[in-house]
């Protein structure tokens, strides 16, 4: 990701104390190893323990919570999210999510070097127009949970989307490899994912610039290799 | 196509680059007929804006002819002549609905970088760094315009490019600077910087009813234009006159009712304070030199308004907050919400209230853009505004 590259370059550092102050807030989250964006899910550790006694809480557990306000109704947002096949448009590290029945779904996540992680998730909370939660079934490569809530924003500001994701790789699994490769900045990754959700629901598609359509650094100039982008599909 | 590309500090080049292609259903492609170099482009030229990449296409003041439109752009067709606002705005988010278009919440794909820098992200801009979107600019033969159903303003036949080109930025920017002053009858407005934005701030303050307008600069030719064309009633050459005492003298000791900073982060000055700012900026201990802003704050009358339209990028030092609080000043600022001024200001031009082309001093081919940057940068040849003809 272009912006991740910049952040690693420490661009923010150049502007000194203000930037550092804002960074420190996310440290406590990203200091915990792991990468929630790859797998997307959440509940706090306490809630996980409460929800399921069978579940072992791995030391490398990652928890992320992010919120964004979107100028759409809670019903619209719920409907988009409940159609799970939409989620890979929002969360870039998901390859596909396929509903198997009303409760269960098959998730595929992109891993390092072209590998994928795959698991079955079940919906454990479903309140139309208000909230949804899900978690991986026992025996998955990756333990994960997620919860999204849609709350009316004050005034005519639309709807607040509150997302909490949690993830823990059982030792030795492909999840650990993903965690090592995609380590760091899960909060920022989810932040970018939620901005994409907002772009899709408010503007009809993901916002693209001359630089952002490329993986890695690219000058802000047109290039001939955009043919792979089907601009009619957003 | 040809485009003006940034390669580093004081290094811009006209290069062959690929022609822009549609990237979204709400895009248009515009063949640029006229484009201009902005004072804020000089901040890029001087290497003071972070997150630039070698090869970035610059330019955020441009207009031209629509040559391609996406299926979701219902209001434009091929052949339309348009001026394009420099901020990119989606028209649908909370900020756009509140007409705060330069704060669009969806147009910056690199919002995370801007958030680290400023807490939250503003809109994406054409040709103005990666933290503001990574969009190619319009100092080129063609440019891709995102959200083309929201931004571009159709220009009626009969108006020349030079009359309407500055609707893209500097005319609305100067106008917003004056509008933020809440000008009332009898008000005295002082404007720091008699560059192009300052000229339009002065002209706009006049249109909005200011009684006296005082221009402050260090170039006589700029002060002369402020007086003869824009409508300044008084001028202060700050290298030969003391600004603070002259302003008091001109206002019966009260100070101006409103002060507009049309200078920004690369202010010049003199004395110990200026030397201090130069050193700190060079050492990256502060990113911006706020000479004009400090002076505006110290000069403004009790309870007055300080309106900031000059561009600042980061952090400043020795900010006189005590004066702001104890004297009840109001500070207003912003990148211009260009979209909301396009139609009213076009109407002013059509009505003959103003002909913005008065600021143009240099006309060049796009090929000569690097020379244009150099001339503008050094204020050579009485340079005020450079317009590039792309075609």
Q: What does the domain layout of chain A look like in residue ranges?
A: 1-31, 32-207
Band the pLDDT of A170: cuts 50, 70, 90. low
User: Which ranges in chain B are annotated with CATH 3.40.50.720?
Assistant: 171-333
Q: Mean pLDDT, chain B, as a whole number?
A: 95
Structure tokens at B290: 């706020």
Predicted confidence at residue A118, as pLDDT, reads 85
User: Which ranges in chain B are annotated with CATH 3.90.180.10?
Assistant: 2-169+336-389
CA distance A89 to A194: 11
Predicted confidence at residue B216, as pLDDT, reads 97
Question: ∠ at Cα B149 (B134, B344), nearest 5°?
Answer: 100
CA distance B329 to B182: 13
Predicted interface score ipTM higher than 0.85: yes
Predicted confidence at residue A17, as pLDDT, reads 33
Q: Which residues 61-100 in chain A show a CB within 8 A of chain B?
A: 69, 71
pTM of the model: 0.88
B104, closest residue in chain A (CA to CA): A199
The partner residue sitting opposite B135, judged by closest CB among A203, A210, A223, is A210
Band the pLDDT of A112: cuts 50, 70, 90. low
Q: What is the fold, at CATH topology level, of the domain defined by B171-333?
A: Rossmann fold (3.40.50)
The partner residue sitting opposite A203, judged by closest CB among B18, B90, B130, is B90
Q: Which residues 177-216 in chain A show a CB within 8 A of chain B?
A: 188, 191-192, 195, 198-199, 202-205, 207-213
Residue range B5-36, pLDDT digits in tens: 999 999 999 999 999 999 999 999 999 999 99
Structure tokens at A16: 């000194």
Instruction: Give the Cβ contact number of residue B178 at 10 Å.
Output: 27
Tokens 């244009």 -> residue:
B372
Instruction: Give the Cβ contact number of residue A68 at 10 Å.
Output: 18
Residue A92: burial class (beta carbons within 10 Å; 0-12, 13-18, 19+): middle
- Residue B11, SS3 per DSSP: strand
Residues recorded for chain A: 234
**Poorest-pLDDT segment among A104-118, B178-192, B269-283, B300-314:** B269-283
Structure tokens at A49: 């323990």
Q: Which ranges of chain B would DSSP assign to H, the alpha helix?
A: 39-45, 94-97, 111-118, 161-164, 170-179, 196-207, 220-225, 243-250, 271-282, 291-299, 321-326, 342-350, 369-377
Sheet containing A116-127: give its strands across.
A62-70, A159-168, A143-152, A131-136, A116-127, A104-110, A94-99
Predicted confidence at residue A117, as pLDDT, reads 79
- Residue B390, SS3 per DSSP: coil
Residues of chain B contacting A161 with CB distance shorter than 8 Å: none
Distances (CA, A) of B336 to A189, B57, B65, B162, B173: 30, 21, 24, 20, 5
Q: Which residue has the higher pLDDT, A5 or B167?
A: B167
CA distance A217 to A4: 10
Q: Report the pLDDT averaged over residues B141-155.
A: 98
User: Is the CA virtual torsion A208, A213, A215, A220 positive or negative?
Assistant: negative
Question: ∠ at Cα B33 (B199, B131), nearest 5°?
Answer: 70
Residues of chain A contacting B25 with CB distance shorter than 8 Å: 204-205, 231-232, 234
Instruction: Please report, rounded to a whole number, the percentage of residues in chain B having pLDDT higher than 90.
Output: 90
Predicted confidence at residue A60, as pLDDT, reads 62
Q: Report the pLDDT averaged over residues B379-385.
A: 95
Does the distance separating the beta carbons of A222 and B134 come in below 8 Å?
no
Asked if the model's pLDDT at residue A27 lies above 80, the reply is no
Predicted confidence at residue B279, as pLDDT, reads 76
Q: Which residues 97-136 in chain A show a CB within 8 A of chain B?
A: none
Instruction: Give the Cβ contact number of residue B378 at 10 Å.
Output: 9
Band the pLDDT of A9: cuts 50, 70, 90. very low
**Poorest-pLDDT segment among A155-159, B27-31, B201-205, B311-315:** B311-315
Q: Which residue has the higher pLDDT, A193 or A54?
A: A193
Band the pLDDT of A11: cuts 50, 70, 90. very low
Residues of chain A contacting B107 with CB distance shorter than 8 Å: 207
Band the pLDDT of A143: cuts 50, 70, 90. confident
Band the pLDDT of B174: cuts 50, 70, 90. very high
Asked if the model's pLDDT at residue B317 lies above 90, the reply is no
Does the distance separating the beta carbons of B3 and A6 come in below 8 Å?
no
Q: What is the DSSP string of B222-269?
A: HHHHIIIII--SEEEETTTS-HHHHHHHHTTTS--SEEEE-S-TB---
Q: Spell out the residues 6+ positions from residue B225 whose beta carbon is closer than 8 angstroms to its own.
A: B194, B199, B358, B359, B384
Does the distance separating the beta carbons of A202 and B136 come in below 8 Å?
no
User: Is the CA virtual torsion B90, B93, B94, B98 positive or negative?
Assistant: positive
Q: Report the pLDDT averaged over residues A57-64.
A: 64
Band the pLDDT of B266: cuts 50, 70, 90. confident
A14–chain B Cβ distance below 8 A for any pair: yes
CA distance B178 to B210: 9
Q: Report the pLDDT averaged over residues B59-82.
A: 98
Structure tokens at B298: 């110290």
Instruction: Please report, rounded to a whole number, the percentage of residues in chain B having pLDDT higher than 70.
Output: 99
Does the distance separating the beta carbons of B116 and A207 come in below 8 Å?
no
Residue range A148-167, pLDDT digits in tens: 999 999 998 999 999 998 87
Predicted confidence at residue A116, as pLDDT, reads 76
Predicted confidence at residue A234, as pLDDT, reads 65
Does the distance separating the beta carbons of B136 and A210 come in below 8 Å?
yes
Q: Answer whether A191's CB lies under 8 Å from A180's CB.
A: no
User: Is the CA virtual torsion B357, B100, B119, A80 positive or negative?
Assistant: negative
Q: Answer whether B205's CB lies under 8 Å from B178's CB.
A: yes
Torsion of Cα atoms, A105 then A110 then A112 then A117, to 10° = 10
Q: Which of B110, B147, B150, B316 to mutate to test the interface with A (most CBs of A within 10 A)?
A: B110
User: Is the CA virtual torsion B110, B115, B118, B122 positive or negative?
Assistant: positive
Q: Which residue has the higher pLDDT, B341 or A230?
A: B341
Does the distance separating the beta carbons of B124 and A207 come in below 8 Å?
yes
Q: What is the DSSP letter of B140?
A: B
Predicted confidence at residue A33, as pLDDT, reads 29
The partner residue sitting opposite A15, judged by closest CB among B19, B117, B136, is B117
Predicted confidence at residue B17, as pLDDT, reads 97
**Poorest-pLDDT segment among A28-37, B217-226, B240-249:** A28-37
Predicted confidence at residue A98, as pLDDT, reads 97
Tell me which residue of B272, B325, B262 sits closest to B296, measured CA to CA.
Answer: B262
A28–chain B Cβ distance below 8 A for any pair: no
CA distance A165 to A158: 23
Q: Report the pLDDT averaged over residues A96-103.
A: 96
Q: Which residue has the higher pLDDT, B115 or A39?
A: B115
- Residue A204, SS3 per DSSP: coil
Predicted confidence at residue A48, as pLDDT, reads 37
Q: Assign domain B2-169+336-389 to its CATH superfamily.
A: Medium-chain alcohol dehydrogenases, catalytic domain (3.90.180.10)
Q: Report the pLDDT averaged over residues A140-154.
A: 91
Q: What is the fold, at CATH topology level, of the domain defined by A32-207?
A: Alpha-D-Glucose-1,6-Bisphosphate; Chain A, domain 4 (3.30.530)
Predicted confidence at residue A45, as pLDDT, reads 35
């Amino acid at each position: 990701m272009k912006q991740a590259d910049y952040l690693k370059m420490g661009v923010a550092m150049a502007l000194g104390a203000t930037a550092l102050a804002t960074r420190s807030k996310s440290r406590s989250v990203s200091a915990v190893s792991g990468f929630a964006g790859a797998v997307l899910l959440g509940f706090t550790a306490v809630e996980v323990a409460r929800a399921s006694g069978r579940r072992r809480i791995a030391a490398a557990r990652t928890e992320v919570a992010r919120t964004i306000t979107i100028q759409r109704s809670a019903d619209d947002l719920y409907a988009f999210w409940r159609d799970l096949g939409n989620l890979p448009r929002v969360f870039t590290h998901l390859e596909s999510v396929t509903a198997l029945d009303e409760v269960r779904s098959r998730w595929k996540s992109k891993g390092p070097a072209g590998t994928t992680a795959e698991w079955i998730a079940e919906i454990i909370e479903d309140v139309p127009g208000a909230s949804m939660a899900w978690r991986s079934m026992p025996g998955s490569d990756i333990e994960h949970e997620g919860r999204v809530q849609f709350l009316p924003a004050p005034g005519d500001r639309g709807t607040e989307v509150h997302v909490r994701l949690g993830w823990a790789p059982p030792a030795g699994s492909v999840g650990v490899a993903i965690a090592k490769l995609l380590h760091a900045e899960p909060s920022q990754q989810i932040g970018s994912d939620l901005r994409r959700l907002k772009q899709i629901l408010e503007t009809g598609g993901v916002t693209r610039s001359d630089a952002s359509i490329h993986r890695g650094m690219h000058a802000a100039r047109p290039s001939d290799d955009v043919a792979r982008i089907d601009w009619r599909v957003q | 196509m040809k485009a003006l590309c940034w390669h580093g500090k004081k290094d811009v080049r006209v290069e062959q680059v690929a022609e822009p292609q549609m990237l979204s259903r709400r895009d248009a492609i515009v063949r640029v007929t006229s484009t201009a170099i902005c004072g804020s482009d000089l901040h890029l030229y001087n290497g003071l804006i972070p997150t630039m990449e070698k090869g970035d296409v610059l330019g955020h003041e441009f207009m031209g002819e629509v040559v391609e439109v996406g299926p979701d752009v219902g209001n434009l067709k091929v052949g339309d002549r348009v001026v394009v606002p420099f901020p990119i705005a989606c028209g649908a988010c909370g900020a756009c609905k509140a007409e705060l278009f330069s704060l669009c919440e969806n147009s910056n794909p690199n919002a995370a970088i801007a958030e680290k820098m400023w807490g939250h992200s503003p809109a994406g801009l054409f040709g103005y760094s990666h933290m503001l979107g990574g969009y190619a600019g319009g100092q080129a033969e063609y440019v891709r315009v995102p959200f083309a159903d929201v931004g571009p303003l159709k220009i009626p036949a009969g108006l020349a490019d030079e009359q309407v080109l500055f609707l893209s930025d500097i005319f609305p920017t100067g106008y917003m600077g004056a509008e933020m002053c809440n000008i009332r009858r009898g008000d005295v407005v002082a404007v720091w910087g008699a560059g192009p934005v300052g000229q339009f701030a002065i002209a706009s303050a006049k249109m909005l009813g200011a009684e006296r307008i005082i221009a402050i600069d260090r170039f006589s030719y700029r002060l002369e234009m402020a007086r003869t064309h824009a409508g300044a009633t008084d001028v202060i050459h700050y290298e030969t006159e003391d600004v603070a005492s002259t302003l008091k003298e001109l206002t019966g000791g009260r100070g101006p009712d409103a002060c507009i900073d049309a200078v920004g982060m690369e202010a010049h000055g003199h004395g110990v304070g200026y030397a201090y700012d130069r050193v700190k900026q060079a050492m990256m201990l502060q990113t911006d030199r706020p000479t004009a802003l400090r002076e505006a704050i110290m000069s403004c009358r009790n309870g007055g308004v300080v309106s900031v339209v000059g561009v600042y990028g980061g952090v400043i030092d020795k900010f006189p907050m005590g004066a702001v609080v104890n004297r009840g000043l109001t500070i207003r600022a912003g990148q211009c919400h260009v979209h909301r001024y396009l139609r009213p200001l076009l109407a002013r031009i059509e009505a003959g209230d103003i002909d913005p082309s008065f600021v143009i001093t240099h006309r060049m081919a796009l090929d000569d853009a690097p020379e244009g940057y150099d001339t503008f940068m050094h204020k050579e040849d009485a340079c005020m505004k450079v317009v590039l003809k792309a075609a």
